[in-house]
Amino acid sequence: MTEWTDRIPLRRLIAESRILTRTFYARATVEAARDLLGKILVHGGVAGRIIETEAYLGLDDRAAHASRGLTPRTRVLFGPPGHAYVYFVYGVHECLNLVTEADGTPGCVLIRAIEPLAGIGRMRQRRPAARRVEDLTSGPGKLAAALGITRSLYGADLTRGALTVRGLRQEPPMDIEVTPRIGIRECADWPLRFVEKKLARCLTS
């Protein structure tokens, strides 16, 4: 298998997984952030396995956009769970967040990194500067670019449509490391970053 070859065909990946329901997102953000590890993010003919997330808790979390209240930018965070919150940062990158909690209670999970699985050639076309497969999606801006995720997906329903998150019918076990969030100034010591310690390779066996 060459460096830029798919780890698993997208068709097989779809057959071996199912789309997460709204109930998955309609709960405490920290629980959802942890449980999103190992789930499959699918968009634009490509897919990857979520390996790093961060939880943002809403009004009392000064690092969260929702702490500024209900605005045109944050309105989706205050709506029903299971929708996409996509924003532009540093004038360069777009970042994907998944809305959690009950309708009216803001909360979201930032997807920080995924393990590329399917559509790797297409990811490489979108991210030609990447030197290795791992570099294609090793940050929130990188994975959004590799998957073709833009602000046009703001508010997209994750339970249907082009952008979905899927759970494998047989999920391999994993070890999870919990750390403070990174790249922020407010509430920087809160342990709300979740990372898979060791990537499982069961899909390619």
Taking only the tens place, the pLDDT of each residue in 41-86 is 999 899 999 999 999 998 999 999 999 999 999 999 999 999 999 9
Look at residue 100 and tell me if it is in a domain: yes
Look at residue 1 and tell me if it is in a domain: no
Share of the chain above pLDDT 90, in %: 87
Predicted confidence at residue 200, as pLDDT, reads 39
Can you give the residue range of the structural domain that contains 196?
10-200
Look at residue 27 and tell me if it is in a domain: yes
196 neighbors 179 (Cβ within 8 angstroms): no
Look at residue 2 and tell me if it is in a domain: no
Number of domains in the chain: 1
The mean per-residue pLDDT over the stretch 148-152 comes to: 96
158 neighbors 25 (Cβ within 8 angstroms): yes
Tabulate helix, strand, coil % of the chain (nearest 5): 25, 30, 50
Q: pLDDT at residue 91 above 70?
A: no
Look at residue 5 and tell me if it is in a domain: no
Look at residue 128 and tell me if it is in a domain: yes
Look at residue 3 and tell me if it is in a domain: no
Look at residue 92 and tell me if it is in a domain: yes
| CATH assignment of the domain containing 101 | 3.10.300.10
